[in-house]
Structure 1
Amino acid sequence: MGYCDPHWIGDYHFYNAMRFRTRTEPLESAPSPAADGDARSLLLWGGVSAEGVPYLEPAFVLDIPPSPPVDGGNYRIRGRDASGEELFALSLDMWRIADGDGGSGFAFALPVRAGWADALASLTLSGPGGSFTLDGESGLVEAAAIVRNPVTRQVRGILRDASAAGLAGAVEEALAVDPALEVLVSRGIPDPADWDR
């Protein structure tokens, strides 16, 4: 399992997860807007540790359908520009992570708005346990990479490493298996070039 050492997911768990998803998720007869590259979304994800401390993971700009959070909840996420002006603010709730250490998490995709590429400078998650701000200078999160099929946009892996060399090595291993894969890297706030990809 993903939280056991060594970190892995075997065929047995993959098969059961896939079987569950094919039984419970409706099949789409029409291609989604993301399949044509029309939907640009900002992927925001993070959570609260078992001690109640909020955290954010690196944000990504992706061609995926928007899936904003249901409004309401004890937590708020804000995107601001360099001068501190608010670009967006949302309230949200988190789900408890099953079989975890007591933490909670969230993941959603906001539709990209004009001007965010040049303006978004920080993200702040706040709630009962305090706040956490992610910006281009903080260095508070590990860089992450999403490895995906460039045609289907199916995610093949999410890679993380505290060191740039370690992440580069993990990316190299993934590309050795399938050189046609696409790798998207984020160190926190998406770079201006990421918005045009």
Structure 2
Amino acid sequence: MTTVKIIESELTFGPYPADQCFYIEKSKCYGKIEEGVQIAEFLLLRQKAGAHPVIWIIEAKSSSPRPQTQPNFDQFIDEIRVKLSNAFLLGIAARLNRHSAPVNELPAPFQALDLQHTSFRFVLVINGHKEEWLAPVQDALSLALKPVVKTWALPPSSVVVLNHDLAAQQGLVTPATTTPE
């Protein structure tokens, strides 16, 4: 089985089965529309026996401003919201064959998804971030993505902010590549 690793923000994501990962940031589909459209790194399809599939939309950062650092913090949250929302929308558009390029590059398991029974999780991974610093970022990002979460009838837990350690615990990054605190 072919696997893929993605290196972003000094973290190694994966390895994942190649057909479970869509590197949307490097896709031909995104290449055709990228001017003026910011996008997250990749989409990861996670499927567990007896559960509906979940597509994780993942953005990685090497740092984050503190909430007190205004307007930088609000701009940071808005940038992440835009990237995650655009990756979500482009992923859905690719699945619905709205763009000609992804027909061959969108992995077969993504193409076969029953979108009615697929859930989505918006994930921000901040390398080197202390766990106690995550809550304000989580709260702000959840609030920023609330319209998307509500209009798509997703659970509030669909927005997740992780540091490198928590991302390793979730099987997103290779633990050996994480930055020590």
Whether the TM-score (by the shorter chain) exceeds 0.5 is no
Greater helix proportion: 2
Greater RCO (CA < 8 Å, at least 6 residues apart) = 2
TM-score range (shorter-chain normalised) is under 0.3
TM-score by length of 1: 0.26
